[in-house]
A and B are shown apart, each in its own frame.
Chain A
Amino acid sequence: MLDLFILAPLACLILINLPPVGSRRLALPLAMVLAGVQAIAVLCLPYMPRLDGPLTSFFNFGLQITPLGRMLLLAVGLVAFVSLLVGQASLGQDRRLWQFASMMLLAITGMNGAVLVSDLFSLYVFMEVLAVCSFILIAFNRDPLALEGAFKYVILSAVASVLMLGSLSLMLLVAGSTGFAALKAALAAGSASPLLKLAMAGFVCGLFIKGGLAPFHAWLPGAYSSAPAAVSVLLAGVGTKVSGLYALLRLAMDVLPPSAALGQAVMVVGAFSMVVGAVAALVQKDIKRLLAYSSISQMGYVVLAAGCFLADAGSADWRLVAAGELAMAGAIFHLFNHSVFKSLLFVNSAAVERQAGTTDMQLLGGLGSRMPVTGATSVIAALSTAGVPPLAGFWSKLVIILALWQSGMQAYALLAVAVSVATLGYLLLMQRRVFFGRTAPNLQGVREGSEGYVVAELILATVTVLVGLAFPLLMHLGSFLLPANLNL
């Protein structure tokens, strides 16, 4: 069954490229159906009696699904669907749509693969599939800034690969295998060895680059802001989350030994990203760039929580361990929430870009009355990002902050609260500049975006509101949301 998550997109790709059947017009709808089916299939997964099917006996991918993975697969399906919707609304001709759909299918393959594999090297391989697709998608429109953004991503991503593979070879030396289980045992046994410490630090730093955590982040604002609208949605929503953050959380839970030093280092990076992203976002003039920095800041929360988990996991005090697990639950939840509300914000910016012709906030204003759905959903997303109750973002931040507090890391908790306030500040500033105030004369004729944008916005806004309202319910369906080994 799980193999289908990797094979189905590839099969679709072949289908839309076959000469007889390959009507290019069907490419994008087919990809959308696939993404939608994936989102629904993931929701059904917990209720499937057995996950192995006829394919499993033939293929041997060694796939594993964890609750974290389910969360990510769901996000991938959802965001890919939305991204394809936006792509359809913004890209125009059939040929481009077909190319876009093909690249998206490959990107979905890469993301699903990265989420499902249980081998460090395979994880790297699928991350690289996603990365190559991302380079191409960013440069999809071939405008100069996009080429520049993509090129920097190529360079930084290659540096990340070098760090990760170098570390991987050190781990291979000790573990003799790259499977998660073998690595976990070997790393736990030799966690005092300087070589392994170096390996862990190197690998984690590679993931930091891929995930765009400060100070490893500098490629990210350029890539997000120069990419075509639909691609920004995908990248910000799930792309960099799968390749950097998901891997970090998965490794923290399934591979890395509990280590206070690693945890502390990870937390410092997380806190630094939180602050740097928020501070830089305060002064941005372009919506997409502001959102990119905001992404960095929000990922800081996730990494901070992951670091808290790593730092607490080895403690002898069960309360600390429980607090660490709570932090991990918060990190996972925040990752998902962020996927939803940040893609929503990017869809909003895409609609604004399409209708008003610019994302420069100095040229915008008063669009709320002209584009009511975009304006309203954007407010929802912004409030959720800033963690205003009862939206989804509030709960995940609350969980993270509670966990930090319980772990005795009050300073980090306070910092997280303060950054939350700053987040609210810059997002409200953005709202004010774009959607409120007086409509500039040249924007008088602006109308709401086409159905693609509106539907995408409504889907994501509904999810973020529903997740917020149904949070208690979700917590009780813990098996879906949270890893089984986290007992709350």
Chain B
Amino acid sequence: MTPQAALIFGTFAVGAVLVLIVGFYSLLSTRNLIRSIIALEVLTKSVTLLIILAGYTTAQQALAQSLAITLIVIEVAVMVVGVGLVLRIHSQTGSIDTNTVENIKG
């Protein structure tokens, strides 16, 4: 790896890791179910960046981009189902507080 490439890689890798931390923090601390879905989105951003970065660094943008596109499609599907679940939970309990999903225990 050339120093220039290493610098670019390092910068964005650090960014991706920070976004990852932010996403996990939000996932763990939020009390709003929709926000937990948003946290998952943030986590996915980080991962997308990492994959594209890997492709860029190894000069394989074609491969990395096709992976990223598939990843985005899956992300949408998961998010739609997640939001669907949250809406259903809301229509049944009238709440989207995380304590509405703490009934299965033991």
Name A's B-contacting residues (CB within 8 A). 121, 125, 128, 131-132, 135-136, 139, 142, 144-145, 147-152, 154-155, 157-159, 161-162, 165-166, 168-170, 172-173, 176-178, 221-222, 225-226, 284-285, 289
Contact = CB atoms under 8 A, between A and B. Distances in A.
B55 A128 contact: no
Interface string B59-81: 01001100100110010011001
A145 B103 contact: yes
A148 B77 contact: no
Interface in B1-35: 20, 23, 27, 33
Contacts, number: 112
A166 B85 contact: no
A139 B104 contact: no
Given A154-B82, A155-B27, A172-B54, A128 B43 contact: no
Nearest to A134: B81
A376 B40 CA distance: 46
Contacts of B50: 165-166, 169-170
B20 A154 contact: no
A151 B82 contact: yes
A145 B27 CA distance: 21
Interface residues of B, number: 40
B55 to A, nearest CB: 7
Given A147-B89, A172-B55, A173-B57, A165 B71 contact: yes
Contact of A152 (B51, B55, B101): B101
A156 to B, nearest CB: 11
A444 B6 CA distance: 74
Query: Which of B43, B92, B106 has the most CB atoms of chain A within a 10 A radius of its CB?
Result: B106
* Chain A binding surface, main DSSP class: helix
B40 A158 contact: yes
Nearest to A223: B104
7 contacts: A132-B78, A139-B85, A139-B88, A151-B101, A158-B78, A162-B46, A165-B47
B74 to A, nearest CB: 5
Given A158-B78, A165-B51, A176-B58, 15 more contacts: A121-B70, A132-B74, A144-B89, A147-B85, A147-B88, A147-B92, A148-B89, A148-B103, A148-B104, A154-B78, A172-B67, A173-B54, A173-B58, A222-B104, A225-B104
A194 B79 CA distance: 33
Given A121-B67, A154-B82, A169 B54 contact: yes
Nearest to A284: B106
Interface of B: 20, 23, 27, 33, 36, 40, 43-44, 46-47, 50-51, 53-55, 57-58, 60, 63-64, 67, 70-71, 74, 77-78, 81-82, 85-86, 88-89, 92-93, 100-104, 106
Nearest to A221: B104
A381 B86 CA distance: 37
A136 B63 CA distance: 31
Contacts of B106: 284-285, 289
Consensus secondary structure, chain B interface: helix
The 8 closest A-B pairs by CB, nearest first: A222-B104, A169-B50, A148-B101, A172-B54, A173-B54, A165-B47, A169-B54, A158-B40
A481 to B, nearest CB: 34
Contacts of B71: 165
B81 A145 contact: no
A279 to B, nearest CB: 13
Contacts of B88: 139, 142, 147
Contacts of A136: 81
Nearest to A143: B92
Contacts of B81: 132, 135-136, 154
A132 B78 CA distance: 6
A289 B105 CA distance: 10
A62 to B, nearest CB: 14
Contact of B51 (A150, A158, A172, A176): A172
B65 to A, nearest CB: 12
A152 B93 CA distance: 17
Contact of B77 (A132, A145, A221): A132
A148 B33 CA distance: 11
A155 B43 CA distance: 11
Given A136-B81, A170-B54, A155 B36 contact: yes
A151 B89 contact: yes
Given A145-B104, A177-B63, A154 B85 contact: yes
Contacts of A125: 70, 74
Given A128-B78, A132-B77, A149 B104 contact: yes
Contacts of B44: 158, 161-162
Contacts of A158: 40, 43-44, 78
Contacts of A121: 67, 70
B43 A226 contact: no
Contacts of B70: 121, 125
A157 B93 CA distance: 24
A177 B81 CA distance: 30
Contacts of A155: 27, 36, 40
